[in-house]
Amino acid sequence: MVMYLKKPTYCYWIVDNSFCDSRMAEMVTAARNRGVNTDIIAFSPREIEGADTYDLYDIDHADPLFPLVYLQAGLLNLSYDVVIYIDRTTEIRGEIVNTEALLNFDPVHVPLSSNHRSPNDVVLERTARRFGFNRPWRSNLDGGFVLRRRAVERVVELCGAFRKFSGEQANFKCSELVGSVCQILSGDTRAHEVQLTRQCWDIQLASEIDSNAALITKI
């Protein structure tokens, strides 16, 4: 008997709660014009042409973890194996043909760098040490992340716990918390270094990369 491994299905996932900002619609249109056929799931107060659009949830969008609320409530009702969360700083340049290369067998991927420190990194690293993390700390560089469907509940739970145990009123971004959880759950954090994944992510904050936005390109 010959067994074939099923290629993981994935989609892009965006939440547009701006009401007056057209960047999300422009980003989707540009992606379709480049020939990107991957499903794009959008939550927006208005229809976004080229995406499967759903209504916004009645939640606090000022909470930095609001993207995880959408993932927890929405993604689990869909059939995708992997979701790529992107924000308004992201430009979809092409298809990602190998999400497994990004995830490297881990439940979540966030582009990381050992050459950059954000203002919140001191608090984030100290909290990670309380979780028993003893490897070199890496800074998260972008608003996007890649997440396995089966890991959604666990990642949401750990992000909430991570923020709670930080013990400070830091203004964390969702991607910073997800990036911290990525490092805690990762078998090898070096695999998520932006230097290795730059074929998919060009990050404005990474000193070694010149870009005006986060770019997703072919891997």
For the chain, domain boundaries: 10-216
Q: pLDDT at residue 206 above 70? A: no
Q: Considering the chain, what percentage of its residues have pLDDT values greater than 90? A: 17
Name the pLDDT band for 157 (thresholds 50, 70, 90): very high
Q: pLDDT at residue 15 above 70? A: yes
Q: How far is CA 177 from CA 7, 60, 110, 124, in A?
A: 28, 18, 10, 8
Name the pLDDT band for 21 (thresholds 50, 70, 90): low
66-74 and 152-165 are packed helices; what angle lies between their axes, rounded to 10 degrees?
160
Q: What's the pLDDT score for residue 108?
A: 92
Tens digits of per-residue pLDDT, 188-205? 888 888 777 766 654 433
Q: What's the pLDDT score for residue 194?
A: 79
Write out the CATH class of domain 10-216.
alpha beta
How far separated are the first and last CA of the chain, in Å rounded? Answer: 32
Phi and psi at 83, nearest 5°, equal -125, 140
Q: Which residue has the tokens 């990036």?
A: 179
Tens digits of per-residue pLDDT, 97-120? 678 878 888 999 988 888 878 788
Q: Are 42 and 27 in contact (CB under 8 A)?
A: no
DSSP 180-219: HHHHHH-S-GGGGBHHHHTTT-B-TT-TT---SSEEE---
Region 142-152: mean pLDDT is: 84
Ramachandran quadrant class, 150 (left: phi over 0; alpha: psi -120 to 50; beta: rest)? alpha
Q: What's the pLDDT score for residue 155?
A: 92
Tens digits of per-residue pLDDT, 37-76? 889 999 988 889 999 998 888 888 888 888 888 888 877 7
Q: What's the pLDDT score for residue 216?
A: 37
Q: Which residue has the tokens 């989707």?
A: 28
- Amino acid making up residue 49: E
| 135: β partners | none
DSSP 119-158: TTHHHHHHHHHHTT--SPP-EE--S-EEEEGGGHHHHHHH
Q: What's the pLDDT score for residue 208?
A: 35
Q: What's the pLDDT score for residue 205?
A: 34
Q: pLDDT at residue 207 above 70? A: no
- Amino acid making up residue 6: K
